[in-house]
Amino acid sequence: MTAPDRTVAGPGTKAGLDPKAGPGPASGPDPIAGTSPITGAIPVADPDSTTPGLDSDLLASPPVSPRRAAWRRFLKYRLALPGLIVLTLVVLGAVLGPLLWQVDPNAVDPAQYRNPPSPDHPLGTDSAGRDVLARLIVGGRVSLAVGLAAAVTATFVGILLGALAGYARGWVDSFLSRVCEVMQSFPTIIVIITFAAFFGPSLVTMIIIIGLMEWTGGFRVTRGLTMSLREQDSVVAVVGLGARNSRVLFRHIVPAVLGPATVIATGMISGVIMTEATLSFLGLGVPPPSSSWGTMLNQAQSLRILESMPWMWLPPGIAIAITVLSVNFIGEGLRNAVDPRQGQR
Amino acid sequence: MTSTSETTPVLSVRDLTCEFSTAGGTVRAVNGVSFDLAPGETLGVVGESGSGKSITMLAILGLLAANGRITGGSVTLDGVELVGASEKRLQSVRGREISMIFQDPMTALNPVMTIAAQIDESLKRHSRGLDRRGRQSRIIELLDQVRIPNAVRRARQYPHEFSGGMRQRAMIAMAMANRPRILLADEPTTALDVTVQAQILDLLHDVQVETGTALVMITHDLGVIAEVADRALVMYAGRVVETGTAAELFAEPRHPYTRGLLASRPTLDDTDGGDLDAIPGQPPNPARLPSGCSFRPRCDLAQGRTECAEAPELAVLGEGRAAACHFHTELALSERPA
Amino acid sequence: MVSFVLRRLAISVVTLIGISMALFALTRFIPGDPVSMYFNPLTFEGDREAAVEAVRARLGLNDPIPVQYIAWVREIFNGNMGFSMITGRPVTELIADRLPATIYLMGVSTVIAIVLGITGGIIAALRKNTIVDYATLLGALGLVSVPSFFIALLAIYIFGLKLGWLPTAGINVPNGGWGDAIRHLILPAGIMGISGSVGYIRWARSSMLDVLDQDYMVTARSKGLSRPRVVLQHGLRNALIPLVTILSMSIPSLFGGSVVIEQLFAWPGTGRMAIDAISNRDYPVVMGFVMITTILVLVCNLLADITYALVDPRIRL
């Protein structure tokens, strides 16, 4: 009998509690089944007693192209499309906003000290008399950019290491899997705080650290996929023909991993946006003069601002919530699209 | 049915129909099944996967999955209707009047409870007269009865410490805890090794003789029927297609499906190299039954005959003997296949 | 069992060594020489260079890095994690002062998270595909979409400042008694607990759904047990076996969460201490905090593994 397996694919993954990582506990192998002495060997269920519902797939839908089918499954999660629309609006706002609202976000005006919303400043002004709306727009750019950059970095690192582990196997795999395990059981934010403490807050440091800390989701999926792909005839054949490893990697493994990787990266974007906001809120993230939504919220640590000047901290907080929520909606839809079984649970 | 005192059935099922609502629409998994069970008798139910045998049994106990329900017919226990009975009433029947044994003892026992605790639950529920000590000794007695050696020690163990055969014995002990009058056994030997299968069948037979319980034995194996059953039903696509005593079914099958099943059985006197005459085709998908006679696509009698476009009634051929085929007389005339 | 525990222990020790090395390496990258900062060039009289050099030699800062690392580890084993550069107090003492408050907060919020999460998850599972289920899942998704510090700000704004129902800072007031302590606890522990419950909700739901499909659930019903009884007795027990594992998985986010919540509610715990230390560049305190966190996380994980093996009768190691 094996121990409760907390290695890479086992139940002891962070996925269960971490909204950033993977499809949640539903997809992971059940710890009971994983350690059960009774799996395999025996025909699992009486086919007679299963409900005939399983056959409904055969009845449904005439053949459609895989892409169309995936899009349909995406839409089947009813909040996916609204999420996509809202996120598009948020991104458009951040990108095109400065064209529509041509107020300098960094223009200090002591005369406009902490003014409530007015026609000139629809969201009021902050402690330096800067326009909150303009800062919200540029802050969104920073938050979204950090989210995207760090998530892509982390996913890329995860795919690379996962493919390496799954392809090379042996000690490389055991080593990377151990490291992954350790990373998962260690609080990311503590590491980032430590780095921020020693090197001072910096945008690039933060992206790199998040990228290096959050690769475990991509790693697990890629490793598993690579291992199973490696056994497939087509891959075995090209390896047998003497194909170079890099060729096998990029022609066979990377394409297969792209779908799941997109899901993971999407899930991570929302997590990273929140991490960035938290760090900036604590004063350890985006350093001045640039500002993100989290930085704007940092001012609310002052009770006076919190109590009497909600226009300074409510808008960035709501912006974070709306953005992250719509990314999460899209993530759920993508999960359906990539893994059809998920939607039925 | 005739109600002479000797044949008053303990369980009577009439026109039982069960439907499941699925994403693909409503599926009728059991379609007008009727049978009687006399006290102490053994009734075999034969059919392939998906023929509705297990669902019939679950429906009798009111244990259909959440998306399934009984849409017609009746189930009476000693003349008292169970279909539509309150959940409370059904609970007092389950495990006391009617017990059930499941196919796979690997998954049918709770992995985190000891064998004793799982039997004890049933005793606590139904044998209210027994105190703790009384239940304890009853558990040991039951385990002895199903020939589990070292019963005292074994009772404290968990299912994973038992072999498959031993688990099925424990399962039988659990089912017999309150001396039920009816035991529904759903392919109790299918998941077991061949050598163990015979032991479990013997055990069931012995238990039945000792306690006088009636037994419904579900199986897809005609050999099991030949060994244990007094009478048998043959089910196909949710319907009963033939009934009779085991001997009658073997000697003179009156439905092409029964005939096919018999032909596909390996026998000891099968000396010509064992090329089994299996029934062609697959069991039908209950969600998409062929129109008319469900067996038509696989039937060597149908061959495009127009009668088969209509579903045949179950024609009574004699006392306890019936078949649902338009051409059952033809079968009576033809010889039993080798 | 023994070999399993030893293996987990070995992994933990290796992890600890790795992290302590990384941490030690970090201190070598600190911009600016702490010793030269110690001697203020404006007020120091005499040969400052020589004084700095003398102190460096005395502190062993001129030794090779590995020697310094060993010396540092030896000191930690002796219970010496250095001294705060601000207050001069031993780091061990500072942490010992602060740790109980953090563990108190994490403990209470974990209990809240588990109770809320498991109840919610199981209700959602039993009402699968109903409005209750969808509302629970949507609520969970909503909760993970809002940073807990923003929830905390809103809660302080509404319950503390606008309605004035609850205190928003500190762990208690002197001689406040139990009632006061609980009132101080409600917002921080409640917010951490609600945020933490999301993971448990999702896990409990899917775990329960798996279990509800199991054959032994039908067996239990066939014995005449009522459905609630079957769900509680057979379902819950099987569904909750991995709880310890899930609990151990929640520990990282618990530590992360406590840093933020302690900062916001002026909670006198280690998280707040760490943030203060960072803004003061009080490196020994930061290092002590990270070391203690690491050790606690590793110990918790180890305990979870062992407990899991003890809870599930099928695992005989």
Residue A235 — very low, low, confident or very high, per pLDDT cuts 50/70/90? Answer: low
Nearest to A43 among B53, B186, B191 (CB): B191
Residues 6+ positions from A318 with CB-CB distance below 8 Å: none
Domain count, chain A: 1
Structure confidence by residue, pLDDT tens digits, A250-267:
777 777 777 788 888 887
Question: What pLDDT does A121 receive?
Answer: 67
3-state secondary structure of B183: strand
Helix axes C283-311, C2-27, angle to 10 degrees: 170
A32 in any annotated domain? no
Question: What pLDDT does A37 receive?
Answer: 31
> Mean pLDDT over residues C43-63, rounded?
74
A47 in any annotated domain? no
B133 in any annotated domain? yes
Q: What are the strands of the beta sheet with B68-77, ordered from one edge? A: B25-37, B11-22, B68-77, B80-81
Share of chain A above pLDDT 90, in %: 1
Question: What pLDDT does C120 receive?
Answer: 92
Nearest to C206 among A25, A178, A270 (CB): A25
Nearest to B102 among C219, C224, C233 (CB): C219
Structure confidence by residue, pLDDT tens digits, B90-108:
999 998 999 999 888 888 9
A16 in any annotated domain? no
Q: Is the dihedral of CA A301, A305, A306, A310 positive or negative?
A: negative
Q: Residue A277: which CATH number? A: 1.10.3720.10
Return the ∠ at Cα A285 (arms to A280 and A288), rounded to 5°: 85
Q: Does residue C57 have a pLDDT over 80?
A: no
Can you tell me which residue has the tokens 């999407």? A266
Interface of B with C (CB under 8 A): 58, 61, 63, 87, 91-96, 99-100, 102, 104, 107-113, 121-122, 125-126, 158, 160, 171, 174
B306 in any annotated domain? no
Q: Give me chain C's average pLDDT, please.
A: 82
- Give φ, ψ of B94 to 5 degrees: -65, 130
Q: Does residue A16 have a pLDDT over 50?
A: no
Q: Which of A331, A270, A16 is nearest to C117 (CA)?
A: A16
Q: What are the counts of helices (DSSP H) followed by strands (DSSP E) for chain A?
A: 15, 0
> Mean pLDDT over residues A305-333, rounded?
84
Q: Does residue C109 have a pLDDT over 90?
A: yes
Residue A260's domain comprises 66-343
Q: Is the Cβ–Cβ distance between B61 and B90 less than 8 Å?
A: yes
Residue A303 CA, chain-centre distance (Å), reads: 32
Residue A30 — very low, low, confident or very high, per pLDDT cuts 50/70/90? Answer: very low
Q: Does residue C111 have a pLDDT over 90?
A: yes
**HEC assignment per residue over A59-93:** HCCCCCCHHHHHHHHHHHCCCHHHHHHHHHHHHHH
Q: Is the Cβ–Cβ distance between B264 and B59 less than 8 Å?
A: no
Question: What pLDDT does A5 receive?
Answer: 38
A3 in any annotated domain? no
Q: Does residue A106 have a pLDDT over 80?
A: no
A24 in any annotated domain? no
Q: How far apart are CA B314 and CA C96, in angstroms?
A: 84
A145 in any annotated domain? yes
Locate C62 and state its tokens: 């001129």
The answer to whether C206 contacts A300, with C-beta atoms less than 8 Å apart, is no
Q: How far apart are CA A74 and CA A336, in angstroms?
A: 6
Structure confidence by residue, pLDDT tens digits, C227-252:
888 988 888 888 888 887 788 778 87
A46 Cβ under 8 Å from any chain B Cβ? yes
Q: Which residues of C touch A184 (CB under 8 A)?
A: 249, 252
B107 Cβ under 8 Å from any chain A Cβ? yes
Q: How far apart are CA C70 and CA C81, in angstroms?
A: 13
Q: Does residue C167 have a pLDDT over 50?
A: yes
Q: Which of A288, A289, A296, A280 is nearest to A136 (CA)?
A: A296
Q: Which residues of A touch C312 (CB under 8 A)?
A: 4, 32, 35
Residue B157's domain comprises 107-179
Q: What subunits make at least 3 CB pairs under 8 angstroms with C? A: A, B
Q: Which of B71, B58, B1 is nearest to B34 (CA)?
A: B1
Residue A51 — very low, low, confident or very high, per pLDDT cuts 50/70/90? Answer: very low
Q: Is the Cβ–Cβ distance between A218 and A154 less than 8 Å?
A: yes
B155 in any annotated domain? yes
B221 in any annotated domain? no
Low-confidence ranges of chain B (pLDDT < 70): 1-7, 265-278, 332-338
Amino acid type, C149 = F
Burial class for A255, CB neighbours closer than 10 Å (0-12, 13-18, 19+): exposed
The answer to whether C223 contacts B125, with C-beta atoms less than 8 Å apart, is yes
A75 in any annotated domain? yes
Nearest to C315 among A1, A281, A282 (CB): A1
3-state secondary structure of B290: coil
Size of interface B-C (CB pairs under 8 A): 73
Q: How far apart are CA A214 and CA A152, in angstroms?
A: 10
- Give φ, ψ of A315 to 5 degrees: -60, -50
B281 in any annotated domain? no
Locate A224 and state its tokens: 């598993």
Dihedral angle over CA of C29, C35, C36, C40, nearest 10: 130
A39 in any annotated domain? no
Q: How far apart are CA A17 and CA B199, in angstroms?
A: 48
Largest CA distance in chain B: 68
Q: What is the CA radius of gyration of chain B?
A: 21
Share of chain A above pLDDT 70, in %: 72
> Mean pLDDT over residues C93-99, rounded?
89
Q: Which of B85, B83, B90 is nearest to B12 (CA)?
A: B83
Decide the pairing of beta strands B321-323 and B68-77: unpaired
Q: How far apart are CA B171 and CA B194, in angstroms?
A: 18
Share of chain C above pLDDT 90, in %: 9
Higher pLDDT pick, B83 / A36: B83
Restricting to A residues 204-263, those with a Cβ less than 8 Å away from any Cβ of C are none
DSSP states along chain C: -HHHHHHHHHHHHHHHHHHHHHHHHHHTT-SS-HHHHHS-TTT--S-HHHHHHHHHHHHTTTS-HHHHHHHHHHHHHTT---B-TTT--BHHHHHHHHHHHHHHHHHHHHHHHHHHHHHHHHHHHHTTTSHHHHHHHHHHHHHHHS-HHHHHHHHIIIIIIIS--S--SSS--TT-HHHHHHHHHHHHHHHHHHHHHHHHHHHHHHHHHHHHTSHHHHHHHHTT--HHHIIIIIIIHHHHTTHHHHHHHHHHHHHHHHHHHHHHTT--SHHHHHHHHHHTT-HHHHHHHHHHHHHHHHHHHHHHHHHHHHH-TT---
Return the ∠ at Cα B96 (arms to B92 and B98), rounded to 5°: 100
Q: Is the Cβ–Cβ distance between B238 and B35 less than 8 Å?
A: no
Q: How far apart are CA C317 and CA C310, in angstroms?
A: 9
Structure confidence by residue, pLDDT tens digits, A151-188:
888 888 888 888 888 877 788 888 888 888 777 777 77
Question: What pLDDT does A62 receive?
Answer: 52
Residue A58 — very low, low, confident or very high, per pLDDT cuts 50/70/90? Answer: very low
Cis peptide before A287 (omega within 30 of 0): no
Burial class for B232, CB neighbours closer than 10 Å (0-12, 13-18, 19+): buried
Q: How far apart are CA B145 and CA B119, in angstroms?
A: 13
B158 in any annotated domain? yes
A111 Cβ under 8 Å from any chain B Cβ? no
Q: What is the CA radius of gyration of chain C?
A: 25
C224 Cβ under 8 Å from any chain B Cβ? yes
Ordered by where they begin, the domains of chain C are 32-78 (no CATH), 92-316 (1.10.3720.10)
Q: What is the DSSP letter of B324?
A: -
Structure confidence by residue, pLDDT tens digits, B172-195:
999 998 989 999 998 888 878 888
Residue A245 — very low, low, confident or very high, per pLDDT cuts 50/70/90? Answer: low
DSSP states along A38-60: TSSSS--S-TTTS-GGGGHHHHS
